[in-house]
Structure 1
Amino acid sequence: MKIDGKYALVTGGAVGIGLEITRALSAAGASVLVVGRDRAKLESVGRLTPRVTTFVADLTVADDRERLIEHVSTGATPLDILVNNAGTMQYFALTTPDAQVRIDRELALDLQAPIHLATALLPRLLERPEAAIVNVTTGLVYAPFGNTPAYSTAKAGLHAFTRSLRWQTRLSRLKVIDLLPPAVATELTARYDGPKIGPDKVAADLLEGLRTGRDEIRPGQTKALYALSRIAPGFIFRALNKQADKVPFDP
């Protein structure tokens, strides 16, 4: 795919991995619509370049997702790239009184929102001469953290949805890409003490994958995690969770 001249939507594109993806896409010549809840952060990223515009929405809310879909569908510029990046991760015990509330909240953002956007915008993307849907999952689909049950469940579901979507659109010109980062040095993993890579590395790998037409992009340690999960799945699951268990549960 040629990035220059494309119009991209990046959810959660004002912070962390999403911010670096926004920067990388705009630097490559794409126009980027950044979606998020925090107006101040959106205004900050909107000042980066004239190629970046913003849209305030809480993607856990179905009505907000519908507003975004309407905005994109009726806009003057057709959408070429959808990057479902927005997400959250909480460490909590399933025995806590509000466990189900936490699960519902995370599933809404990490699983329901990307499925909703991808499904609703799919017909328009299929009309484009070149288009892509990028779902940001995680290397943890190969060995989930036991103390992030909602996040691990949501990302595994999104990984499966991405494969299904790719299969159903395999005869089209649409590229369906699964971006599987390892632990990345962002606010989301601030308390995790394991090895991490920079979000700029994840963004660079994504752009390279878009340009070369890759289906699954495994930055950094995810390559080794993928290999070990096939060779010794029990070992890598236990090793990762011994590290993750050092992170205290969220209040």
Structure 2
Amino acid sequence: MRLEGKRIVVTGASRGIGRALTEQLAGRGATVLAVARDPSALAGDRIVPVSCDLADMAARQSLIAQLIGDLVPIDGLINNAGIQLQASYLDTPCDPACDIDREIAINLAAPLHLSAALAPHLASRPEAILLNVTSGLALTPKASAPVYCATKAGLRSFTTALRYQAEDRAPNLRVGEIVMALVDTEMTTGRGRGKLSADQAAQAVIAGIERQERGDIWVGNTRLLRIIQRLSPALAARMLRNG
């Protein structure tokens, strides 16, 4: 996909991978509708800050109405926003409902909601993308973040099914995953080694978008993980279990 002149929606745009994606897409000549709870720090000639709390269904509905009602159509959606909460449910009695609800709302309900609502609009464009950011943990989970892993596995399944629909009815719409490696962001502070920078991750994503290939974008060492998981699921599980 040629990015110059395209209008791309990026969620979670105010920091980390989302911010790097926003800035690099704008640098390629795209106009970025940068969605975040507080997008006030975002600035640029091709960056349009859009405020939305993606955990809130009513806020998502307002965002969708705004995007669809805009006189200028959009050519892409990158569902990047996500949170990861560490949880050990066997340690002490607790009521985890609020944390679980919020993690599911941001990581799973929001990208499903935006994807389903905007897919017909994107399918009407001559060339469009709908990409959902998942993780290597969508293939096999780790012990310390059960809900996060479940949401990424669910998003992976949804994206595959939606891609099947697009292949049959809208071949001009590329639907796929961005399978993200471990990236040095606030969410990963204090854990993991060999992290990519947010800029490196964004560069890999944009390179994948600009290639005329369909399907998923595997970032960093997730390409190797994909091979290991196919050859030896048990080995992949051991590698990520305590990540």
Matches for 1:218-233 after TM superposition, within 5 Å: 218-233=218-233
Distance 2:7 2:137 in 1: 30
Aligned to 2:103: 106
CA displacement at 1:10 relative to structure 2 = 0.5
Distance 2:221 2:31 in 1: 30
CA displacement at 1:23 relative to structure 2 = 1.1
CA displacement at 1:131 relative to structure 2 = 0.6
Unpaired stretches in structure 2, ≥5 consecutive residues: none
RMSD over aligned Cα atoms:
1.2
Q: How many residues align?
A: 238
The reply to whether residue 24 of structure 1 matches residue 19 of structure 2 is no
Unpaired stretches in structure 1, ≥5 consecutive residues: 245-251
My pick for the range that moved more, 60-69 or 187-196, is 187-196
Aligned to 1:117: 114
The reply to whether residue 54 of structure 1 matches residue 49 of structure 2 is yes
**3-state SS of 1:201 partner:** helix
- Amino acid corresponding to residue 154 of structure 2 in structure 1: G
CA displacement at 1:88 relative to structure 2 = 0.1
Q: TM-score, normalised by structure 1?
A: 0.91
CA displacement, residues 223-250 of structure 1 (integer Å, 9 cap, x when unaligned): 11111111222122123223x3xxxxxx
Q: TM-score, normalised by structure 2?
A: 0.94
Identity %: 36
CA displacement at 1:63 relative to structure 2 = 0.2
**3-state SS of 2:167 partner:** coil
Matches for 1:149-228 after TM superposition, within 5 Å: 149-171=146-168, 172=170, 173-212=172-211, 213-228=213-228
Contact 2:130 2:174 in 1 (8 A): yes
The reply to whether residue 71 of structure 1 matches residue 70 of structure 2 is no
Equivalent of residue 89 in structure 2, options 66, 86, 94: 94
CA displacement, residues 92-118 of structure 1 (integer Å, 9 cap, x when unaligned): 022441223322110100000000000
CA displacement, residues 41-77 of structure 1 (integer Å, 9 cap, x when unaligned): x2221x2x21101111110100000010011111121
Contact 1:201 1:219 in 2 (8 A): no
Aligned to 1:82: 77
Contact 1:10 1:32 in 2 (8 A): yes
